[in-house]
């Protein structure tokens, strides 16, 4: 834990009038479960009087820049698949996801059955207690603090009698550490980057529709470019990832390459809902 956590309890005691309790977690995740390399993201947990929201800090940074300069030029696409919001003290989550050019939301009920251990450990001045659970096809170990009066944690990991400071799956594909807390006197508006993605309002779908959209993207990730080639009778040049594509054969090669990348990085947190390509 970083030194800023030493002020955590004091901040909560002194800010009873706060409208938003913001906790920032460092998330380390393996995009490819077969590799040892981690990608790192800072994630935000906002606890408001009526709602809980979890999202990437990069979304907040882009939104802040847009508000500062009065435009929508700064955009960010989430790469973690971990944008959710829920009513306080519930397990019904609204999930948000980018699928190619679209932005969608779907609802899930994610009740977690925790097994609370008597085992504790000391991190600076905080006594953390251990809990375990199975969620999303993975086994999890959490360390929470009873003195912080929120039964919340990163992503969907709620329901413990205290704030989650650390949580990770037993294979260490996903590791969260609480690194900072902030108190906001107002509820931070997220309409421009959570409920919508910088101009694209989330379209409600169900999980079956989500699966269909993802498979459509996988089967032809460059459908838009392919359609342009068909209309122009191949007299068109398209740039994909810095490479000039001049005909359908080259586009087909790029399609196969993209499909290989998608299969390689198919390591979602909820592995029991992983796509089977």
Distance separating alpha carbons of residues 275 and 136, to the nearest angstrom: 13
- Domains of the chain are 3-204 (2.50.20), 207-273 (no CATH)
∠ Cα 56 57 58 (to 5°)? 90
In degrees, rounded to 5, the angle at the alpha carbon of residue 180 between the alpha carbons of residues 155 and 141 is: 45
Q: Name 182's bridge partners.
A: 22
H/E run at residue 237: none
pLDDT in tens, the chain (277 residues): 544 454 455 455 445 566 899 999 999 999 999 999 999 999 999 999 999 999 999 999 999 999 999 888 899 999 999 999 999 999 999 999 999 889 999 999 999 999 999 999 999 889 999 999 999 999 999 999 999 989 999 999 999 999 999 999 999 999 999 999 999 999 999 999 999 999 999 999 999 999 999 999 999 999 988 887 776 655 677 888 888 888 888 999 999 999 999 999 999 999 999 999 9
How many CB atoms sit inside 10 A of residue 114's CB? 18
């Amino acid at each position: 834990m970083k030194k800023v956590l030493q002020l955590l309890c004091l901040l909560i005691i002194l800010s009873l009038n706060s409208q938003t309790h913001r906790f920032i977690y460092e998330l380390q995740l393996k995009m490819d479960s077969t590799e040892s390399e981690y990608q790192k993201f800072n994630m935000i947990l906002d606890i408001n009087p009526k709602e809980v929201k979890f999202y990437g800090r990069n979304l907040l940074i882009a939104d802040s820049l847009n508000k500062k300069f009065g435009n929508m030029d700064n955009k960010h696409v989430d790469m973690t698949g971990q944008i959710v919001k829920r009513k306080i003290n519930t397990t019904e989550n609204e999930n948000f996801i980018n699928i190619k050019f679209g932005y969608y939301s779907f609802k899930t009920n994610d009740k977690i059955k925790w097994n609370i251990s008597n085992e504790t450990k000391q991190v600076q001045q905080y006594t953390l207690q251990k809990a375990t659970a199975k969620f999303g096809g993975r086994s999890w170990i959490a360390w929470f603090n009873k003195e912080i009066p929120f039964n919340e944690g990163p992503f969907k990991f709620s329901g413990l009698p205290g704030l989650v400071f650390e949580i990770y799956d037993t294979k260490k594909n996903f590791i969260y550490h609480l690194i900072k807390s902030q108190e906001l006197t107002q509820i931070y508006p997220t309409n421009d980057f959570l409920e919508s993605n910088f101009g694209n309002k989330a379209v409600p779908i169900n999980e079956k529709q989500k699966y269909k959209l993802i498979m459509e993207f996988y089967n032809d990730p460059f459908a838009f470019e392919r359609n342009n080639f068909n209309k122009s009778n191949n007299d068109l040049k398209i740039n994909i990832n810095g490479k000039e594509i001049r005909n359908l054969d080259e586009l087909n090669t790029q399609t196969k390459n993209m499909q290989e990348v998608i299969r390689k990085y198919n390591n979602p947190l909820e592995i029991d809902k992983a796509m089977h390509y």
